[in-house]
Structure 1
């Protein structure tokens, strides 16, 4: 149920895909031999190097890092927010900045609020994507409170608006537009991103493709070097996998 046309018919159902633990197909093991650190170019950190990917995500780190981690995350998933708070800083500072690991975040859209937040997280391009996503995870409690304040009728009315209006209305009603404006995204720019129905459809298509390719049943889901990690949805388990792989 990831197509935008289906998402637009939802009422107050805020969860399309489970948020939490799930089974997986592979453990993504490497040789386990210790990997040498790779210094970043002078005056930089590897985590400062961020670019979009062909698969619709954003990746930070050494492009030649031998360990490549991909996280499929939902901006309305509490477990994803927990990883952002408790795991991402260590992953970035200890592993990505060592040059041994690259980290790609791909939005895995679960619901219309998630789509609204994802469109805004991506609105400024590569440079602000990771810090803005991190802050949007922290905004979850307020987002849910404001969404509930709309009531079923208000929420449904926004979703039944034309495709180029529905996420603008949700963004304004939930405070998301104001939130990103306070973090450097101009109001006109934010609304333009939310009105981009083709981009929203592309995000929904990416979710469908990823769900099929990796059999994703919940978020966060982590991929290591192309293999979905088994029963890894929190930082301690992911760090253990990184250590096993030699990071």
Structure 2
């Protein structure tokens, strides 16, 4: 999907990518992978650890198959993928055969704002909160489009203040509060310029290493799966890779 027209007027200095791609898949292959039980009293889908790059990995850190998604909170195809695939991915992660890592591919200021809030509660709530932000995507855009004047005024603010202002216009602070993120906590996260810069650098690194052309994009064991943007096309690639 295209970013909102007003986003261009307040864009940060980051690379923007298209949302969605053509749908012809690469053909990864692999031997069948054996299941690995989670430690007693735990499940792999509830086992989340921060990676050295600052992302959150769900599941068995030694899983034979490592699935990575580069996704955007303002991308309609990413929202569709989250809706279709989140439960199925958890089931696969729970086998211990596969880990899953969502890497925010920031495309625009609204995306950055949402990403900062999604990370605000830390690793243990990152995935549930991300799924809820995706589910809220249409309502978020409606609020922004219904508050054009306020949204236009964001560009007059210092860059460090823009995520906080966008969050208010888009109703994201209230949305996060209803999900356990206090107003003070949200304010602090939205003003975290170091995290914002790290997310932007993550986009640059992804472009340099994988030449990401759209969202969602997927890596299987570090290899970009070309032209796959839906669960229906990704699922057979996972089977071919041994799941």
Match of 2:81 in 1: 83
Match of 1:49 in 2: 47
Match of 2:111 in 1: 114
Distance across 2 between alignment mates of 1:28 and 1:189: 44
TM-score between the two structures when normalised by the length of structure 2: 0.91
Q: Does 1:218 align with 2:214?
A: yes
Distance across 2 between alignment mates of 1:92 and 1:213: 27
Distance across 1 between alignment mates of 2:143 and 2:23: 33
Distance across 1 between alignment mates of 2:16 and 2:150: 20
Match of 1:159 in 2: 155
SS in 1 for 2:208: helix
Distance across 1 between alignment mates of 2:187 and 2:27: 40
Deviation at 1:81, TM superposition (A): 0.6
Misfit runs of 4+, over 6 Å: none
Contact between 1:27 and 1:227, CA under 8 Å: does it hold in 2? Answer: no
Q: Does 1:100 align with 2:109?
A: no
Distance across 2 between alignment mates of 1:28 and 1:178: 44
Of 46-55 and 119-128, deviating more is 46-55
- CA 1:175–1:195: 2 relative to 1, 3 Å: same
Root mean square deviation, CA, Å: 1.9
Given candidates 113, 122, 139, the residue that maps to 2:136 is 139
Distance across 1 between alignment mates of 2:151 and 2:41: 48
Distance across 2 between alignment mates of 1:163 and 1:188: 19
Distance across 2 between alignment mates of 1:56 and 1:207: 13
Distance across 2 between alignment mates of 1:159 and 1:202: 21
Given candidates 168, 172, 190, the residue that maps to 2:168 is 172
Match of 2:231 in 1: 235
- Superposed CA offset, 1:57-88 (max 9, x none): 21100011000000000001111011111012
Deviation at 1:54, TM superposition (A): 1.9
Contact between 1:68 and 1:225, CA under 8 Å: does it hold in 2? Answer: yes
Deviation at 1:232, TM superposition (A): 1.2
SS in 2 for 1:216: coil
SS in 2 for 1:55: coil
Distance across 2 between alignment mates of 1:114 and 1:79: 14
Match of 1:21 in 2: 21
TM-score between the two structures when normalised by the length of structure 1: 0.89
Distance across 2 between alignment mates of 1:54 and 1:150: 39
Deviation at 1:27, TM superposition (A): 3.6
Q: How many residues align?
A: 234
Deviation at 1:195, TM superposition (A): 0.9
Distance across 1 between alignment mates of 2:224 and 2:77: 17
Distance across 2 between alignment mates of 1:145 and 1:204: 26
Contact between 2:71 and 2:102, CA under 8 Å: does it hold in 1? Answer: yes
Distance across 2 between alignment mates of 1:187 and 1:196: 14
